[in-house]
Amino acid sequence: MGDLVLRDATPKDAELILAYVQELAAFERLTQDCVATPADFRRFLFEEPRAGAMMAEWNGAAAGFALYFYNFSTFLGRPGLYLEDLFVRPAFRRNGIARAIFQALARKAVAEDCGRFEWSVLDWNENAIRFYRGLGAEAMDGWTTQRLTGDALRRLAAEG
């Protein structure tokens, strides 16, 4: 049995967070979409905070992380916690790290009176989907994610 430490990220973790995100992008076959920099994480996690991050260490080694932010449910009339990314390095998987991160974030959501805790998963990631079902999560059938990025986002912003 190993020693797991979960802690809030600090500005010194920006490079490690980027490394995790790049490893996650490779796993998700989305490397070409990963353009973030350590400066981006320093800015938006610490200088102008728009999100938070939790770091996981196993026996003193960097094992994984979670990056989250808050949204708002008009139907519930309260904030929700949205998990953007969770990644545990392959060498550290099957040690309960992901479950511990989910439990810590669930406690945070409950303590902060959030009405829900949500995340997305790629439809081909069957291992993750089974894990989430084991946590008690339910798929949001009927909902599809819509996204504007890059030129499409700038075009809409520039319209009259």
What is the distance between the alpha carbons of residues 40 and 11, in angstroms, rounded to a whole number? 11
Amino acid at 9: A
Fold of the domain spanning 4-158: Aminopeptidase (3.40.630)
Angstrom CA distances, 20 to 4, 84, 115, 144, stand at 17, 13, 28, 26
* Residues assigned a catalytic role: 132
Coil/strand/helix, residue 80: strand
pTM: 0.93
- Token pair recorded at residue 151: 């030129």
Q: What is the pLDDT along the chain (160 residues), one digit of tens a residue?
A: 789 999 999 999 999 999 999 999 999 999 999 999 999 999 999 999 999 999 999 999 999 999 999 999 999 999 999 999 999 999 999 999 999 999 999 999 999 999 999 999 999 999 999 999 999 999 999 998 899 999 999 999 999 7
Q: Please tell me what DSSP assigns to residue 116.
A: E
- Token pair recorded at residue 34: 């990963």
The alpha carbon dihedral of 40, 46, 48, 51 has a sign of positive
